[in-house]
Structure 1
Amino acid sequence: MSEATLSRPTRSAWIGEIRSTLALSWPLILTNVAQTGMTATDVLMLGRLGPEAVAASALGANLYFFFLMFGIGVMSATSSLVAAQRGRMAHSVREVRRILRQGIWAAVCISVPCWAALWNGETVLRWLGQDPKLAAEAGAYLHTLQWSILPFLLYLALRSFMAAMERPAWAMAAVFIGLGANALANWLLIFGHWGFPRLGVPGSGLATLCATTLMALVLVGVLMSDRRFRRYRVFGRLWRPDWSRFRAFWRLGLPIGVTVLFEASIFQAAVVLMGLIGETALAAHAVAIQIASLTFMVPLGMGQAATVRVGRAFGARDPHGATLAGWTAFALGVGFMACTAVLMVSAPNLLIGAFLDVSAPTNAHVVETATLFLAFAALFQVADGAQVVGAGMLRGLHDTRVPMWFAALGYWGLGFPLGATLAFPLHWGGAGVWAGLAAGLAVVAVLMLWRWARRDALGLVPRMR
């Protein structure tokens, strides 16, 4: 068969790739949703203590997630490296084990400085001008919450390994077990039920530690007992250094971590801008961003699947397989976001009604503002899906450094200054902030797709064997 024929995948090849991508991505999507559910559970439980407890925990959680997001990005290098290795050698054991070991080492290296910073969280929040009383409560919360960084990053490393092995269901099961454990531990430790101490806000941080530790232990148990995983002897000679692979892991993972930080921080900055605009804008933004965040879980899962599927083709030196895998994930992820964009425009009250009583006169201004924000969210839905799947496609090709600069340019070079300018000097208010977010996401999406489209010319795809 000629190379020209191979460059035109058959209908059966597309259908097969769609099935493989969906089989890999749906557990990843549900895992992402369940992980966000853990945060929602914390807020719901702490809400029973009053608004001060919610505010303090929000301050602490924002600082915690700032550090955690970087670790999440770095850990995702595990799936890209393992997938490529499996593409090079389908039954590789020793090399796969060594890659995963570097992910575990990286989790420890990230956690130690994060612990040091978060232990001084109260001081950091005071430097940022926060209310001293809330900062003290948030600091106490961080003193229990911060220890969950290591078990969560270990869970992510093992989850990424399982995704690269195209067996993500175990990680999904672990996070749902963790979700239940988090809810129970919150109930016991915040309020002091069943003879447990009543710890208040710090009890929620301890509950997260218990849940994330359980999630990591579940996956450790699976790796040691499941026949298909046991042969990798993942924890054999875990202490043994492998500096060349460790450096390779960081060369790939560090830019991903910084990219995730750029993206996450622009949305945190948007909250700050909304707070300067007013209470109504802030409340409406909270509702609209929750809806957008929930829909984002689908293309995020598609992007994670693209990293694995493209990565395997990359390791196998199969450029046509990489093309098929990348465009399949892209079409599925962006197609879903296009459908949600239509829903945001055509039925905003249906979506907002899940968070607010849209018929209550006291909520009228918030509902009206949230409806406007959802119209802007509809504009960036497609761009948001395109940039996250595009990033996943490029990570499958081990291309992370240039996309990092794309994120810096789009989010902080354009999105934030444009949003701030529209919101204040030009008096667009909250709509201006959302317009800036949409523009930043669109620029990043275009740049990611441009680089993917020119992957052959840029030498990102290895020659066919």
Structure 2
Amino acid sequence: MSQSKLVHEGKLLARLSGPIVIGQVGQNLITLADTIMVGALGSIALGASAFAGSVFIVFLLFGMGMLAPVTALFARMQGQENYPYGGVLLRHSVVVAAGLSAVMIAALYALLPNLKIFGQTPEVLAMGSAFFEITIWSVFPSLLYQAYKQFTDGIGKTKVAMSVMIFGVIFNVAGNYVLINGYYGFPKLGLNGAAYATLFARTLMALMMVFYVHAHPHFKKYLAERWTHRFDHHLLKSIIRLGIPNGMTYIFEVGAFSSAAVMMGWFGATPLAAHQITISLASTSFLITLGIGIAGSIRVGYELGRGDYSSARFAGFTAIKMGGAYMGICALGFFFLREWFPTFYVNDVDVIAWAAKFFVVVAIFQIFDGVQAVAIGALRGMSDTQWPSIIAFFAYWVMGLPAGYMLAFHLGVGPVGIWIGLLMGLIFASILLTWRFHILSKRFLQS
């Protein structure tokens, strides 16, 4: 392939991924704003919100993962120029979002009286339960927003969801300020005020997406079919069949890193604090890779819709190379600045020393993390979600965590062993996922 084609594809991926990355940063800013503003209420309130949020996010991530593969279906429709089918897909995505929300809300309410199983203090449990109950109701607006986001992202209009997310962040911060403190005639709700602010922000974001898509002339060609038309049960099943493995992939990854943090805590507060600093910075660099992965999914799906299998393969591998190259740059930064980055968080020399050791492993970890994340996106563009889920399970739960446990607690490596285990899992995942994309894309070429 010519250098000019590589540059052109790189520009397309950058143009698509930029707004997606800003949107991802916006999601994190909502959480950050809640943390900072709730922190002023004291340690119990902060602990309660962190506890409730950590339980809730597992469910929400699964729901978002369920809907994520639809982006590639929209992109494929765009490539085929079968615009009315985009409206059909959107309608069915909304139905899946609504049905999934009903199931998740019921499950979360069933969990509500049993939150004590997580072993929190009575004070944290009391405040966290009230916060949790309010947050439950943000499930549906969150997934409704996500369904419309998959549509606008899939057809290449990634700035729409980005703009709505930015507005949501601003609204959430303002809502926190007013409802936590009781300004401008509103009641002083304390911690619950932050929950209501997030609920209102997510609801407003969903309504903005719905209104914009259905009111803007650009989307009329997609919405030609009446929404009262009967539903295609095969299409609903197809969306669910693609979504469940992808949702489980999200759970396997989040669960693995949560488990790694638990194991790190067995070594004491100092290594755990260093671990939290390390994972915080590694997660920040990961946001751009995540955007490249979503853009890769869109580009692969679009080219498949056009029937240009060679370009679909090229787009996928270009995205994977971009993800790896970007994370390679981050790796250099983490390695050479490993003793400086932790000073942003703490002054404790022991914590800084442990974080510096972790960053040596994380520097290598970054490259493979970038490759596997973008490879999952490229495979999602080919509507392949089952094998990535299986690979993720084996990478994290059969290889990474057990290896980290053995290295850390039985082979004398200590806390660094946990990170080495995660690195081993990511190397395994990145190789198999890239190989899987190679095999599938080659199969399309030969068909």
Distance 1:226 1:354 in 2: 45
**2-structure distance, mates of 1:228, 1:59:** 43
1:402-441 aligned at under 5 Å gives the runs 402-441=387-426
Which whole-Å CA distance do the structure 1 matches of 2:180 and 2:229 have between them?
37
Whole-angstrom distance in 1 between the partners of 2:122 and 2:428: 39
Q: Go from structure 1 to structure 2 and tell me whether the alpha carbon gap of 1:116 and 1:369 turns closer, same or farther (over 3 Å shift).
A: same
Task: State the SS of the aligned residue for 1:326.
Answer: helix
Report what 1:279 is aligned to: 269
Report how many residues are paired. Answer: 447
1:166 paired with 2:156, answer yes
Code of the aligned partner of 1:157: A
Alignment-derived partner of residue 76 in structure 1: 68
**C-alpha distance after superposition, 1:1-38 (max 9, x if no partner):** xxxxxxxx333222221111111111111111111111
Letter of the 2:57 counterpart: F
Query: Are residue 385 (structure 1) and residue 370 (structure 2) matched?
Result: yes
Q: Structure 2: where are the runs of 5+ without partners? A: none
Change (3 A) 1:116 1:133: farther
Alignment deviations for residues 230-258 of structure 1 (CA, whole Å, 9 cap, x no partner): 33238941674221110111121111111
Counterparts of 2:36 and 2:226 in 1: how far apart (Å)?
41
The aligned runs of 1:279-428 (5 Å cut-off) are 279-356=269-346, 360=347, 363-428=348-413
Deviation at 1:120, TM superposition (A): 4.2
Please tell me the residue identity of whatever aligns with 2:41. L
Confirm or deny that 1:16 pairs with 2:8. Answer: yes
Residues 295-342 of structure 1: CA deviation (Å, up to 9, x unaligned): 001110000001010011122222211122111111111111000000
Cα distance, 1:421 vs structure 2: 2.1
SS where residue 163 of structure 1 aligns? Answer: helix
Take 2:53 and 2:219, find their aligned partners in 1: how far apart are those partners?
34
Task: Report what 1:247 is aligned to.
Answer: 237
**Distance (Å, rounded) in 1 between the aligned partners of 2:43 and 2:349:** 22
Which residue among 101, 108, 111 is the counterpart of 1:118? 108
Residue 132 in 1 paired to residue 117 in 2?
A: no
SS at match of 2:231: coil
Distance 1:376 1:220, change over 3 A: same
Identity %: 34
> How big is the alpha-carbon RMSD for the aligned residues of Structure 1 and Structure 2?
1.8
SS in structure 1 at match of 2:223: coil
- The residue identity in structure 2 corresponding to 1:86 is Q
CA distance in 2, matches of 1:326, 1:11: 16
Decide whether the 8 Å contact of 1:317 with 1:462 is kept in 2: no
Q: Is the Cα–Cα contact under 8 Å of residues 313 and 441 in structure 2 kept in the other structure?
A: no
**Counterparts of 1:77 and 1:57 in 2: how far apart (Å)?**
30
SS of residue in 1 equivalent to 2:344: coil
**What amino acid is the match of 1:257?**
G
Deviations 1:82-108 (A, max 9, x none): 111222x22x22211111112111111
1:26 alignment counterpart: 18
Q: Which moved more, 1:16-25 or 1:212-221?
A: 212-221
* Alignment pair present for 1:106 and 2:96: yes
Distance (Å, rounded) in 1 between the aligned partners of 2:225 and 2:402: 47
Q: 1:452 aligns with which of 422, 437, 440?
A: 437
Q: Structure 1 length normalisation: TM-score?
A: 0.92
1:19-73 Cα shifts (integer Å, max 9, x gaps): 1111111111111111111111111111111111111111111110110111111
Give 3-state SS (helix, strand or coil) of 1:277's partner: coil
Contact 1:121 1:138 (8 Å CA) reproduced: no
Query: Which of 235, 258, 277 is the aligned partner of 1:268?
Result: 258
Give the C-alpha shift of residue 201 in structure 1. Answer: 1.9
Report the 3-state secondary structure (helix = DSSP H, G, I; strand = E; otherwise coil) of the residue aligned with 1:454: helix
> Contact between 1:25 and 1:301, CA under 8 Å: does it hold in 2?
yes
Q: Give, in whole Å, the separation in 1 of the partners of 2:298 and 2:393.
A: 25
Instruction: Give the letter for the 1:434 counterpart.
Output: W
The residue correspondences of 1:203-222 to structure 2 (distance < 5 A) are 203-222=193-212
Report the Cα distance in structure 1 between the residues aligned to 2:135 and 2:228, rounded to whole angstroms. 26
* AA matched with 2:233: W
Q: Which moved more, 1:405-414 or 1:200-209?
A: 200-209
- d(CA) in 2 for partners of 1:438, 1:412: 13
Aligned-pair CA distance for 1:123: 3.4
Q: In the aligned structure 2, how far is the partner of 1:37 from the partner of 1:80? A: 27
Whole-angstrom CA distance in 2 between matches of 1:275 and 1:115? 31
Aligned equivalents of 2:272, 2:191: Cα separation in 1: 23
Deviation, 1:427, is 4.2
**How far apart are the structure 1 equivalents of 2:213 and 2:198?**
23
Contact 2:297–2:381 under 8 Å retained in 1: yes
TM superposition shift of 1:116? 2.0
Q: What is the CA-CA distance between 1:176 and the residue it aligns to? A: 0.6
Are residues 350 and 227 of structure 1, via their aligned partners in 2, closer, same or farther at CA, if it must alter by over 3 Å? Answer: farther
- Hey, what does 1:229 align to over in structure 2? 219
1:62 aligns with 2:54: yes
CA displacement at 1:121 relative to structure 2: 4.1
Report the residue type matching 2:283 in the other structure.
S
Matched, 1:258 2:248: yes
Does structure 2 conserve the Cα–Cα contact (< 8 Å) formed by 1:414 and 1:440? yes
Cα separation, 2, equivalents of 1:379 and 1:194 = 51
CA apart distance, 1:395: 0.8
- Selected match of 2:190 from 192, 200, 208: 200
> Separation in 2 of the partners of 1:259 and 1:325?
23
Structure 1 gaps of 5+ residues are 1-8
